[in-house]
Amino acid sequence: MSTVSYWTSPDFSQATFIATNAVVIGSVTIAAEASIWYGAVVRGDVERIEIGKCTNVQDGAILHGDPGLPTILEDHVTIGHRAVIHSAHIERGTLIGIGAIILNGVRVGHSSIIGAGSVVTKDIPPFSLVVGIPARIVRQLTEIEAEELIEHAQKYHKLALVHAGKGTDVGFR
């Protein structure tokens, strides 16, 4: 894992797993059971970033922000591979799909799915399935689907334990 000494060092003590080639710098708070995967960039150099409990930031994802607009990921959030979250607030139990982009000032409501490759420029209400460029809501998620999003984040926590050398249950079998 790479850090830059100009900024305050983030506290990694509660995180389950931070990949050795992840870059995490500046004002970054990482809660228990969170994981930051290979090649991810979490740049709290301009504005703070908060990563909630049992949240996973997958391979190649980028988290950053502009002054006055923090990036906040609540608990049980999944940020898919190569997704970009820039000065946005992602509520609990949400999945951001592979390569999706969430832009400045957007708030994604809890228990939502942002489809792969989507570009989100406006707030999204809870329980939304969102796709496209620009992103649009295609339907509401059910309570069962919302529970599955929490379970998905928990599976990633188990996988993170394996990568950290602290477990053997891959979680996805």
Cβ atoms of 37 and 18 within 8 Å: the answer is no
4 vs 90, more confident: 90
pLDDT band for 5, please (50, 70, 90 cuts).
low
Q: State the pTM of this model.
A: 0.94
- First CA to last CA distance, the chain: 28
Q: Is 116 exposed, middle or buried (0-12, 13-18, 19+ CB in 10 A)?
A: middle
b/e burial code for range 87-103 (CB count within 10 A of at least 16 → b): bbbbbbbbbbbbbbbbb
89: left (phi over 0), alpha (psi -120 to 50) or beta: beta
- Name the β-bridge partners of 17: 35
Q: What angle do CA 8, 34, 85 make, to 5 degrees?
A: 70
pLDDT recorded at residue 2:
55
pLDDT recorded at residue 118:
99
Contacts for 130 with CB less than 8 Å, ≥ 6 apart: 112, 113, 114, 115, 118, 120, 124, 136, 137, 138
Structural domains of the chain sorted by starting position, each given as residue range(s) with its CATH number in brackets? 17-163 (2.160.10.10)
pLDDT at 86 exceeding the cut of 70: yes
Give me the percent of the chain exceeding a pLDDT of 70: 97
CA 131 to chain centre: 18
pLDDT digits 0-9 by tens, 98-132:
999 999 999 999 999 999 999 999 999 999 999 99
pLDDT digits 0-9 by tens, 53-71:
999 999 999 999 999 999 9
DSSP designation for 159? H
